[in-house]
A and B are shown apart, each in its own frame.
Chain A
Amino acid sequence: MSTLLEVRDLHKSFAGEPTLAGVDLALKEGERRAIIGPNGAGKTTLLNLIGGQLRPQAGHILFAGQEISGWPPHRRAREGIGRTFQISSAFPSLSLSDNMLAAAQAGHSWLHYAPEARRRAEQLLELLALGAKAALPVAQLSHGERRALEIGLALAARPRLLLLDEPTAGLAAGETEGVTKLLQSLEGVALLIVEHDMQVVEKLADSITVLHHGRVLAQGSTLEIQANPQVQAIYLGKAHAET
């Protein structure tokens, strides 16, 4: 498997405070990686840098061999980087099907809806089991349904890499299971997941990167990380008390 995403020595600081201080990360095609770490470790910042919402002060981001760190977010999306946001209401006053259609239409004609985009939108609504609510405005959906929609929107353009920012935050146990199953069922997509829930991480991730104070503290398979005493000391021990 070839490398899909490579992050080299990434730096980002806000108002002089370093949030990321030299992060390295490599993700293979189709790999599922979880990023964990205490609050303020720089997890969301890392996703924002890869997605293009923020620009780094120094360092490189290579996607499929191309340097993308200067690209605007929409160009990265077109190249195959999809992402979800931690807090997102999608497009609240538009209907669910219009949300999905707009996501699938991105990159197609400005003047006509592509039949292909319509099929993709319907297919995704089926996948998310939200077909029955397609005509409702998103503002009227439940929190769980909106989280599912958020993932659906990111999948619409068939990304090669999906950035997920706490996809299960604030969900009930049953809903968390649904989202986990949905993500497990995806094929041909590399996942980079920021997640607090260790059970979800265990089920989903092939490997884990631990961030702490803007640096990579440890990296390895799920088992290795769980066995790492340093990680246990600063993170795993506190994780459940924290959330």
Chain B
Amino acid sequence: MALGLNLIYGILRIVNFAHGALYMLGAVLAWVLWPLLGFWGALIVAPLLVGVLGLGVEWLVLRPIEGRPLLSIIATFALMLIIQQTVLLSFGGGQQQLSNPWSWSFPLFGLRYPGYRLFVALLAMLSVAGLWLFLQRTQVGRWVRAVSSDGELAAGLGLPVPLVYGLAFGLGSYLAALAGVLVAPIVSVDYLMGFDVLIPAFIIVIVGGAGSLGGSLLVALALGEAENLLPFLAQPFLGQPMQPTLARALTLALLIALLLFRPQGLFGRRPVGP
């Protein structure tokens, strides 16, 4: 989830509000496609569909207002509303529960740890590795990095900047939807699910450092772990388990505090020149 957002934010310098909605769309499509294609089919097809949608959206909506970040942010906010309401109108507002594709689980620290979560973690790491390889090793990846570090210079060198923007947005959408499909069996799916993850994903990107994929993944993992661990750590002091909402509030506050010391993020490059 944060990975796709990082790609879009790092390269297009746009805060993408539609990202949560695209993530939700991935999950909803997984729910729709599951009976038709099975889990693996949905895993492959749903993100592709959303990725294509992302390409279209970039071309249709964002291209005409390129270079005006404020308006672009507002446009993505509008897209978020439209996608959410369209899903609500066509699939209803009820919560859907998907069955777990694997019932297999294994013991970990005395708890039964579902194998599916391991699979999700592995796939997330694979995605990072794949994205990294794509950015480092392929011609298109080099373009993306060039545009990300200096859009004007890249245009001056004759790189197809609009194509790169479109691609980044499409790929970002693809990753959002992939995350959506993957979590679909773990959480309940409804049209507002993107809402809850949107703001934490933003802060992950900022703290991890815009344009730093590894940073995003690391902070995402840390955030998840801190939220789970904090209630246990705090138990001796409070005398009772900490509420999950409070734990989440505290971890987020911690990230904000981190930003005060490193405004450019943990792994972000310092901005080059004014």
| A contact residues vs B (CB 8 Å cutoff) | 14-15, 44-45, 48, 53-54
In the complex, the chain B residue whose C-beta lies closest to that of A44 is B273
Tell me, in angstroms, the Cα distance from A45 to B274 when the chains sit together: 9
Tell me, in angstroms, the Cα distance from A53 to B270 when the chains sit together: 14
Q: B36 an interface residue at 8 Å Cβ cutoff? A: no
Which A residues touch B269, using CB under 8 A? 15
Contact A45 B273, beta carbon cutoff 8 Å: yes
Q: How far is the CB of B69 from chain A (nearest CB, A)?
A: 15
Further contacts, 11 of them, CB under 8 A, given A14-B272, A54-B273:
A14-B270, A14-B273, A15-B269, A15-B270, A15-B272, A44-B273, A45-B273, A48-B273, A48-B274, A53-B274, A54-B274
What are some 13 contacts across the A-B interface (CB < 8 A)? A14-B270, A14-B272, A14-B273, A15-B269, A15-B270, A15-B272, A44-B273, A45-B273, A48-B273, A48-B274, A53-B274, A54-B273, A54-B274
| B contact residues vs A (CB 8 Å cutoff) | 269-270, 272-274
Which A residues touch B272, using CB under 8 A? 14-15
Which A residues touch B274, using CB under 8 A? 48, 53-54
Tell me, in angstroms, the Cα distance from A182 to B165 when the chains sit together: 43
Q: How far is the CB of B268 from chain A (nearest CB, A)?
A: 12
By DSSP majority rule, is chain A's interface helix, strand, loop, or mixed? mixed
Q: How far is the CB of B151 from chain A (nearest CB, A)?
A: 14
Q: How far is the CB of A234 from chain B (nearest CB, A)?
A: 23
Tell me, in angstroms, the Cα distance from A225 to B127 when the chains sit together: 58
Which B residues touch A48, using CB under 8 A? 273-274
Q: How far is the CB of B71 from chain A (nearest CB, A)?
A: 14
Tell me, in angstroms, the Cα distance from A45 to B273 when the chains sit together: 8
In the complex, the chain B residue whose C-beta lies closest to that of A17 is B272
Q: How far is the CB of B209 from chain A (nearest CB, A)?
A: 14
Q: How far is the CB of B108 from chain A (nearest CB, A)?
A: 41
Closest 10 CB pairs of A and B: A53-B274, A14-B272, A48-B274, A15-B269, A15-B272, A14-B273, A54-B274, A15-B270, A45-B273, A14-B270
Tell me, in angstroms, the Cα distance from A53 to B273 when the chains sit together: 9
Tell me, in angstroms, the Cα distance from A48 to B272 when the chains sit together: 13
Which B residues touch A14, using CB under 8 A? 270, 272-273
Which B residues touch A54, using CB under 8 A? 273-274
